[in-house]
Amino acid sequence: MHNKTLKELSTLLQAKQVSATELASSYLKRIQGSDLNAFLHVDEALTLKRAALADQRIAKNDVTPLTGIPIAHKDIFVTREWRSTASSKMLANYVSPFDATVVDKLGAAGMVTLGKLNCDEFAMGGSNENSAFGAVKNPWDKAAIPGGSSGGSAAAVAAGLAPAATATDTGGSIRQPASLCGVTGIKPTYGRVSRFGMIAFASSLDQGGPIARTAEDCGLLLNTMAGFDPRDSTSLERPDEDFTRDLSQGLQGLKIGVPREYFGPGLAPDVEQAVRAALAEYEKLGAKLVDISLPKTELSIPVYYVIAPAEASSNLSRFDGVRYGHRAKEYANLGDMYMQTRTEGFGDEVKRRIFVGAYVLSHGYYDAYYLQAQKIRRLIAEDFKRAFQQCDVIMGPVSPTVAWDIGAKADDPVANYLADIFTLSTSLAGLPGMSIPCGFGQGEKNGRRPVGLQIIGNYFSEAKLLNVAHQYQQATDWHQRTPA
């Protein structure tokens, strides 16, 4: 049961071959027996209560394609009944008085919440080692990281602890963990999915999206998650879409842009081999490969690590021990309370980004760093604009390597940052992108670890991306592989 797709589970539920309560109970047992540290908060009574309500809806035939299907939420989305910690000591026991829009929409569709998922603290990281509550393990190899910041989401889906999960992507945090855990994830166009109730990291970059087993599953979830939200000033007002509408279209004549910058030094041979094989499969499906250039790719890392920390330092200034969250027990005065609270409450990576952000926004450095980064960000977007005049979608690797061992880059934050080289530019441009499983590479101890293929589209082309991914998944079985 735990390896079935959302569509298969929906069919079983609506045919009453399994109940939402039985399904939820099955997943809760799997979560209880897991040692991956993917979940931060599980409340069996709450989940079964939601499942019983879903069963009542099914009995009345008041259903959506998602009614009764379990889901778990990244602990960046606030929830009324489960804790919302952002994987930080700063919010260790915080329970929100409201649900995030994404959580509310999926709940209204009848999905059953299994709990909250571990992530990098305040979504800052690419390995899920920065959580205040311990690292998440990769279900393919427990010595390996699952990717971040949505590592708990990807690990939970890959291990069959949940059939689907919500996630967020600021610089690659849906696509990279999906790649390293061998599942499917999509980051929509910036503004497609409401950020209301999503604990902010970098407001001009953060975007919610789904992680699931297949492109079709992601489309079903995105149908509910996407849409205008007046409570989010960055939400885009667009007509509702069925993102699964084009799944049956063939790929004859599709032009796939292959950026030469994505296949240079630094790309591991085993990753390149898997990605090249996937591109060859697309040629068999009728697509044509087009050589393109994205010359500003190498600048995406310095640009991102100026803009994102700058926005983070501003967003995280609200955590001062006064209104909510952690407060230091011992302090001499108000200023000391601020300092002690933030010293105790934030982890090293969060502090590092706050320091960088405060520096680049400070007097005398704002023009030299932050404004220059914003100018280059525009040039990066222009690179993509020119590329899409030559092709329909862009493909390449998600990560330069397969998942590395837990702790391998703990003493070198820059090495961790460099792993985002192929995902950052898409986020800076606000474009949609996704990762689908396309093979395996070798881990540090020669264990098999997943490789993901990145598919990037033009603005608002999520339906096309999902079709392109779905056709590949109809022709291959990488997405059906599961860890032992």
pLDDT of residue 39: 98
Question: Considering only CA atoms, which of 9, 472, 83, 10 is closest in space to residue 279?
Answer: 472
**Residue 395, phi then psi, degrees to nearest 5:** -130, 150
Judged by average pLDDT, the poorest of 125-139, 217-231, 235-249, 405-419 is: 405-419
**DSSP code string of 303-320:** HHHHHHHHHHHHHGGG-S
Active site residues: 74, 149, 173
pLDDT tens-digit series, residues 282-337: 999 999 999 999 999 999 999 999 999 999 999 999 999 998 899 999 999 999 99
What pTM was computed for the model? 0.97
pLDDT tens-digit series, residues 389-406: 999 999 999 999 999 999
Q: What sign has the CA pseudo-torsion 8, 11, 15, 18?
A: positive
Q: Per-residue pLDDT for 444 more than 70?
A: no
Beta strand 207-212 pairing with 433-442: unpaired
pLDDT of residue 484: 85
Q: For the chain, which domains are there?
A: 6-252 (3.90.1300.10)
CB 115 within 8 A of CB 146: no
- Residue 402 DSSP SS3: coil
Question: Considering only CA atoms, which of 146, 166, 131, 127 is closest in space to residue 34?
Answer: 146
